[in-house]
Amino acid sequence: MDLKQTKDILNKFAKYVIKQARTNLTKGKKNSSKQLYDSLDYKLKVGQNSFGLSFLMEEYGAYQDQGVSGKKRKYDTPLSFKSKMPPPSSLDKWSVRKGIAPRDKKGRFIPRQSLNFLIARSIFTYGIKPSMFFTKPFEKAFNDLPPELTNAFAIDIENSIE
């Protein structure tokens, strides 16, 4: 059975979700390295009587989307910091790209290692606020999907019977 109509609807759905998620990343200023932006993709598998759609992104995309609860500030998310803070070394390139270079009371620049440690400790304490950059467009498109998908699936079945 050829599910051409269904495949087209699911491709449109996935492309819309990816496009809106990328827009939300850019508008939310969560796109400093473009690594997460470029990693957004989907995989559509269509079998004889079934189909599957998977969305792909960098692992940290889930943390940006759903947020992470810190030790002091809690968010409505299943993710939280328990006993380990994020590694300060992972923030090194990010702090350089963002141009963060604070000075101490004497006007000297704070060493980058110290700055990265302070940022990591802040993330551990206060968490990461949920951005919902992927969840919102997915839910919106998914709510619009069922009538179109049902109709396309029915047309595919009728075409295969003929």
Residue 75, classified by CB atoms within 10 Å of its CB into exposed (0-12), middle (13-18) or buried (19+), is: middle
Q: Of 73, 75, 80, 110, whose CA–CA distance to 95 is shortest?
A: 110
Confidence band for 137, pLDDT divided at 50, 70 and 90 = very high
How large is the average pLDDT for residues 109-131? 94
SS3 track for 130-144: CCCCCHHHHHHHHHH
Residues 36 and 58 sit within 8 Å (Cβ to Cβ): yes
Instruction: Summarize pLDDT for 47-77 with one digit per residue, the tens.
Output: 766 778 899 999 989 999 999 999 999 999 9
- Radius of gyration of the CA atoms of the chain, in A: 21
> Helix 135-161 to helix 4-27 angle, to the nearest 10 degrees?
170
pTM confidence score:
0.80
Instruction: Look at residue 34 and tell me whether its pLDDT is greater than 60.
Output: yes
Would you state the structure tokens that stand for residue 162, as one six-digit string?
């003929």
> What pLDDT sits at residue 80?
92
Nearest residue to 24 via CA among 54, 57, 68:
57
Instruction: Say if CB 54 and CB 84 are below 8 A apart.
Output: no
